[in-house]
């Protein structure tokens, strides 16, 4: 999966506009970054990458890059 496809999955999970995110985007600056977005992200990482993410790991994510780091 290339970077563009990964970004599309993150945008879908966070329910943001297409192309709204770049790797440097700070999650806490996004209106969409809330508890429901966190759950969508957990579901996406589980479904697409078979990765189990804890609440602490979610809280530690500061930027979109930190999400991308789990997508391999």
Beta strands in 1-72 (DSSP E): none
Q: What is the distance between the alpha carbons of residues 23 and 2, in angstroms, rounded to a whole number?
A: 13
Whichever of 7 and 13 has its CB closer to another protein, that residue is: 13
Does 54 sit near another protein (CB under 8 A)? yes
Instruction: Select from 4-12, 19-27, 31-39, 63-71 the region that touches another protein (CB under 8 A).
Output: 31-39
Locate 29 and state its tokens: 């600056």
Q: What is the distance between the alpha carbons of residues 25 and 46, in angstroms, rounded to a whole number?
A: 22
Q: Can you give the binding site for another protein, defined by CB under 8 A?
A: 35-36, 38-40, 42-43, 46-47, 52-56, 58-59
């Amino acid at each position: 999966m290339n970077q563009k496809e990964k970004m599309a999955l993150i945008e879908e999970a966070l329910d943001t506009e297409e192309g709204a995110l770049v790797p440097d985007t700070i999650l806490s600056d996004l209106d969409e970054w809330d508890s429901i977005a966190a759950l969508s992200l957990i579901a996406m990482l589980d479904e697409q990458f078979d990765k189990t993410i804890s609440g602490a790991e979610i809280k530690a994510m500061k930027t979109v890059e930190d999400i991308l780091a789990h997508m391999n």
